[in-house]
Structure 1
């Protein structure tokens, strides 16, 4: 609760009039000053009353692709039994105030407001809380309170239709590529029996030792396990130099669209896939065993932002990529690596090429307009499958043009 400029002026004037009226013997001035102070006191009492409001917020849907529609439905209920509420309220959507009409809300009634969420940009849109502002009839005080919780809407990158990675070769469990017929099944692990498992998969010898039923888990090694490494270093995108914080960088948006398209293709074909960013964030699913994992992947892409370099030297610029490569080399989450970067990341392909040991197949997607000083990729990318495109749609065409991995 704060006094407005009018309230402060009236308080000072009222105190001066009371002091002058009693000091110089003018009772009329004292009466006027006392009336002013009483008005300020009444305003403070008015502001002490808090309306009983219940706020419910529903967002449908809370995850959308860029450009798709999402709607917020806000319901404000006056829980007071006797007094009506006449308030000025506004909700916040992506830091932009949205007016909510709560004028003359009678007791035990509610007001419902709906408004669209801006989904023109990839990212996470914060919604709420509802801020209610009250003023007394004379405008002497102002009071603002937040009601209700907050919500978020994940705006995923656009998805372009592409086909999954051709699975015409069989990869052994130690990472070597064996050209054997498609469809080989390999033992992976043992796990506890759950209702619905086939009894022919029960490993009776182990079950006898453990004392409970154990089931063999098999893995189709002909299916590639995809690993997407997303370059989120600001130095990999020349357009990001000098851009305002939070500004949309077209090449980086194209990289996110390419990653989202790969995720959609992998989910459609039930292929295991994991996404890692150079900065360290990751999300992984294993095909049909985690069908909802597509949400985790796309949420990660919605939250992805360019990370500034902590060092300005060339070695410092490569430090984050070196750490990411070491993580992939140690954990080996898959056998097919897809590295997505901008034009500035072409100079670091040597680090990616060193991963050819744990990853038999490595593809590099470079997105963004060609730069005049763009380094040649023939020597640095020896043994790497290069996909050069300016945007996500062109990347989809390049991807579908690959005949063999």
Structure 2
């Protein structure tokens, strides 16, 4: 009930009381009229229109800064009368006005509006709030219609043209390091009709007296392990360095997927489950035990290249991460929040990239020599 409605209701009670108490029928008549107006307003606002709400996000997953829109369709399923209401749709932290002017029964109206994608994260859309107000402005009633649609704003992805080549020991006892893998001798077996003649090992065949064929395999496919430091202490201030670290992680896993290379994503504070970009969309800085995470990665030995991404608060932890070089032949650290984007590499295969944002990280990454 609005302030006007409350005032009119109070006046109705006072007028009725005074009219009956002191015998003034005119006052009682005015009080009755005011009371009837309040009752009529309540009946008008209490009418619940039957509305169907259909909301479609195009697209429902988008990179940070890219356009996305909501197509909202509202249908009046009532049979009695046209609906004129005030509708407001929730769009993230703000609201969007949706005009509903004399929406006739059996008809619908469609409106579209943009989704804010300037920040990474989940943007909830809906439900639709419909407000009915009586003509005298005595009473206002708001109801919600439809469900909620989630738009996922992924981190911005920067193109990485170079990727680590991998460092995997071959059966020959050496170390093969090539971008696309190599063919390495594995074993000998008896010749089977249909085998290529170029695979016959003639020296062994002469010794054995039968044709022997070489079995070969690929031994140098790189396996990337991305460790995102999502501790709040590693990203002090406004946490913008964490946004840049998420962009770097998204860029690495996307580049690995493009080249069909094995890659895994790990967080310090929690387990990462689901598609990598969705995980990077939903993650927020929290508490975590970096030492426990490093012990787990050392024991599991999930790949040959470890990529650690952190902020200014994690600079002192780079030394602890470099201790994993026994389990991971190549260790790369990305430190965000610094203006020096020049990569630094050392003879013990520890590479440190300092960058102000994701774009500088991509430039410095492609500038690393020795991939």
TM-score class, shorter-chain normalisation, is 0.7 to 0.9
d(CA) in 2 for partners of 1:327, 1:305 = 22
Deviations 1:312-342 (A, max 9, x none): xxxxxxx621122233234443331100011
Structure 2 partner of 1:320: 289
Deviations 1:243-277 (A, max 9, x none): 4xxxxx33222211211111121011011111112
Written as runs of structure 1 = structure 2, the 5 A alignment for 1:301-340 is 301-307=280-286, 309=287, 320-340=289-309
SS of 1:388 mapped into structure 2: strand
TM-score (norm 1): 0.76
d(CA) in 2 for partners of 1:177, 1:100 = 68
Which of 390, 395, 398 aligns to 2:356? It is 390
Deviations 1:198-221 (A, max 9, x none): xx9xxxxxxxxxxxxxxxxx9954
Deviations 1:277-322 (A, max 9, x none): 21114147xxxxxxxxxxx211222222222x5xxxxxxxxx6211
CA deviation after TM superposition for structure 1 residue 59, in Å: 0.3
d(CA) in 2 for partners of 1:116, 1:17 = 52
CA deviation after TM superposition for structure 1 residue 76, in Å: 0.3
Which of 298, 303, 325 aligns to 2:277? It is 298
CA deviation after TM superposition for structure 1 residue 178, in Å: 3.0
Which of 261, 278, 284 aligns to 1:271? It is 261
d(CA) in 1 for partners of 2:154, 2:174 = 34
The 8 Å contact of residues 177 and 360 in structure 1, kept in 2 or not, is answered as no
Deviations 1:337-371 (A, max 9, x none): 10001122110123212322332221111122259
Structure-2 change in CA distance of 1:263 and 1:92 (3 Å): same
d(CA) in 2 for partners of 1:142, 1:121 = 35
Structure 1 partner of 2:225: 227
CA deviation after TM superposition for structure 1 residue 66, in Å: 1.6
Structure 2 partner of 1:179: 176
Structure 1 partner of 2:51: 53
Written as runs of structure 1 = structure 2, the 5 A alignment for 1:116-135 is 116-135=114-133
CA deviation after TM superposition for structure 1 residue 75, in Å: 0.3
Structure-2 change in CA distance of 1:325 and 1:169 (3 Å): closer
Structure-2 change in CA distance of 1:324 and 1:251 (3 Å): same
Written as runs of structure 1 = structure 2, the 5 A alignment for 1:178-257 is 178-179=175-176, 182-184=181-183, 221-238=219-236, 240=237, 243=238, 249-257=239-247
What's the C-alpha RMSD, in Å, of the aligned pairs?
Answer: 2.8
Q: Which runs of 5+ in 1 are unaligned?
A: 188-199, 201-217, 244-248, 285-295, 310-318, 372-376
SS of 1:129 mapped into structure 2: strand
Structure 2 partner of 1:359: 328
d(CA) in 1 for partners of 2:317, 2:60 = 37
CA deviation after TM superposition for structure 1 residue 164, in Å: 4.4
d(CA) in 2 for partners of 1:257, 1:96 = 25
Which of 55, 75, 78 aligns to 1:77? It is 75
Which of 2, 22, 25 aligns to 2:23? It is 25
The 8 Å contact of residues 10 and 36 in structure 1, kept in 2 or not, is answered as yes
The 8 Å contact of residues 345 and 351 in structure 2, kept in 1 or not, is answered as no
d(CA) in 1 for partners of 2:120, 2:184 = 40
d(CA) in 2 for partners of 1:118, 1:324 = 35
d(CA) in 2 for partners of 1:152, 1:183 = 45
The 8 Å contact of residues 176 and 220 in structure 2, kept in 1 or not, is answered as no
d(CA) in 2 for partners of 1:155, 1:106 = 36
SS of 2:289 mapped into structure 1: helix
SS of 1:80 mapped into structure 2: coil
TM-score (norm 2): 0.83
Q: Which runs of 5+ in 2 are unaligned?
A: 187-194, 196-215
d(CA) in 2 for partners of 1:220, 1:92 = 54
Written as runs of structure 1 = structure 2, the 5 A alignment for 1:107-122 is 107-122=105-120
The 8 Å contact of residues 228 and 309 in structure 2, kept in 1 or not, is answered as yes
Which of 361, 369, 372 aligns to 2:338? It is 369
